A and B are shown apart, each in its own frame.
Chain A
């Protein structure tokens, strides 16, 4: 296992800038998740680390070595693709053995067999070893793909939305499994996703990308509670954060330069004081209720307890805890108190 870093890396495809001035250090054994919508540059970042793309500028380092101009085979990283992840003309065993049989590695056949069996047991695919890769379910295929990465203990694991094609139940199972394996091996992982649940559950740190620029890289807690920009604040949280005009709070509390007030739905409380509004929608989320309240200023979402007894059309007063208010400038930049 090793640490990895991007130093001032830029990459564009024609007129499109995919990654811009990326500065990022990933520690040894860290689970780092890159989060962003499609087109934000997540996959390009991963491919730059793998050597499938060459940066226009800057350096890519793995384990303290400059690998910028190194062939993918020489970087000793493992990559799990979103789809087309298995070699279709091989069996599961041959797929898992393929990295070990590389001329670069010279692993004896008995050792290949031992390691393939070990990984297959770990991922519970040992009964499928003689199956053709195409004769597997989606979950089994992705497990084999992850197995192909695990089988050779690389310096770095790179995963490009490995679970996006799986159904919800399977994704949850595999997510837990992946996290367990990663902490057991102490593996360094860069994991790309657009799924915020995946990001917050798996990550030691989340990096949020917007149009090829890394906006913030910190722990899930920090990204959620203390975002550097409105864009970052909007990436996490279901229901999404409320973005409100400043009139929602007392003017003496507003910092200079602020243009927007943002507040998470769980920080909005129905109380005896505060701004008046009418309940428009009451949605039952199971353990909580989500209400949508409107007044002449805007609409706002709040989470209340299931026994709140609120009805559509009812007038309520909403309070926002003073320490939970997030202020942003006209460009979406965070304005701290």
Chain B
């Protein structure tokens, strides 16, 4: 092959270096994830063994403990019981315990799904409408309003936790799904409006004007022409909103206890016998990661294009 070098392309040595750095970075960020998935499949004793074991036999104990509550029985009581009906009964029996009932993990998980996706949907719908308005119409005091919206992000959310806690208690929104959806929507909305306004600004207004001249109202032009064009922006905004509301811990632990508690404040409270039940916590975390992972993989192409949108188009 001809050995010509393109001055605009990085040399092969630089390519190797860049690739190496990316793999190193990926390796470092993946360590906690690997730890979570490995710990989830260990027995409680293997998980806290010292010196640490590198390879252990996989065990479903963590998942069983995550989904159940258990009671320890004496040997005589255990012997008096009928033989275990299922493999997980059997597993628990071996630890001289019986299953007392299901844990509240599934309920908390469902709460997370309702609140996370609910607030994401609401943020994106409101954000899209607000961004369109800001992008297309002469709004009095537009730049002040936009700054004001952004300024809600300038303090740590926890700084307003006490006032919100008191307000929520007064109006009866404490520990309700609606309360948490509204709260996360408020926090996400500033991000959603700003991100989406950027995307809306990139959509030439000639498209809607053409549609209006072609015989459509502005609302019809909005959903027939603008929305499909904004799909990329809406998808990437939705991912950011979901990641925030799905992972949020501080407000959730303050404002929810039973009814509307999400998974993040619940998982660390899984207590095993004589200490923290690391495999149960790790398996809870592993399951907790899945929805965001799936959502992000599904919208991955939009996300990449979304982030680089402005850079490529102009």
Contacts and interface: CB of A to CB of B under 8 A. Distances in A.
Interface of A: 50-52, 71-73, 75, 77-79, 81, 83-85, 87-89, 98-99, 102-105, 148
Contacts of A99: 214-215
Contact of A87 (B207, B213, B215, B217): B207
Given A52-B209, A81-B210, A84-B206, A105 B215 contact: yes
B220 interface: yes
B228 interface: yes
Interface in B193-250: 204, 206-207, 209-217, 220, 225, 228-229
A105 B220 CA distance: 14
14 contacts: A52-B209, A73-B213, A73-B217, A79-B210, A79-B213, A84-B206, A85-B206, A87-B225, A89-B229, A99-B214, A102-B216, A104-B215, A105-B215, A148-B214
A51 B210 CA distance: 11
B223 to A, nearest CB: 12
Contacts of A102: 214-216
Given A84-B204, A85-B206, A87-B207, A73 B212 contact: yes
Nearest to A47: B209
Given A81-B210, A84-B207, A73 B229 contact: no
A75 B211 CA distance: 13
A102 B212 CA distance: 10
Given A50-B213, A79-B213, A84-B204, 7 more contacts: A71-B217, A73-B212, A73-B216, A85-B206, A85-B210, A87-B207, A102-B214
Interface of B: 204, 206-207, 209-217, 220, 225, 228-229
Interface centre among B211, B212, B213, B216 (most CB of A within 10 A): B213
Contact of A79 (B204, B207, B209, B225): B209
Given A71-B212, A81-B206, A83-B206, A88 B217 contact: no
Contacts of B225: 87
For the residues of B in contact with A, the DSSP-based class is helix
Contacts of A98: 211, 214
A46 to B, nearest CB: 11
A259 B36 CA distance: 90
Nearest to A102: B215
B220 to A, nearest CB: 7
Interface centre among B209, B210, B228 (most CB of A within 10 A): B210
A148 to B, nearest CB: 7
Given A87-B225, A89-B229, A72 B213 contact: yes
Contact of A73 (B207, B215, B228): B215
Interface centre among B215, B220, B225 (most CB of A within 10 A): B215
B215 A89 contact: no
Nearest to A80: B210
Contacts of B210: 79, 81, 85, 87, 148
Contacts of B217: 71, 73
Nearest to B228: A89
Nearest to B212: A72
Contacts of A81: 206, 209-210
Contacts of A104: 215-216
Nearest to A99: B214
A88 B225 CA distance: 9
Contacts of A51: 212-213
Given A99-B214, A102-B214, A105-B215, A72 B209 contact: yes
Contacts of B213: 50-52, 72-73, 75, 77-79
Contacts of B228: 89
Contacts of A71: 212, 217
A52 B211 CA distance: 11
Nearest to A77: B213
B237 to A, nearest CB: 19
* A-B interface, 3 closest residue pairs, ranked by CB to CB distance from nearest: A102-B215, A99-B214, A84-B204
A102 B214 CA distance: 7
A267 to B, nearest CB: 43
Contacts of B220: 103
Nearest to B217: A73
Given A52-B209, A72-B209, A88 B214 contact: no
A51 B214 CA distance: 12
B108 to A, nearest CB: 40
A72 B211 CA distance: 9
Nearest to B209: A52
Given A73-B217, A83-B206, A102-B216, A88 B229 contact: yes
A88 B210 CA distance: 12
A79 B217 CA distance: 16
A88 B313 CA distance: 14
Contacts of A103: 215-216, 220
B201 to A, nearest CB: 14
Contacts of A88: 229
B42 to A, nearest CB: 50
A121 B215 CA distance: 24
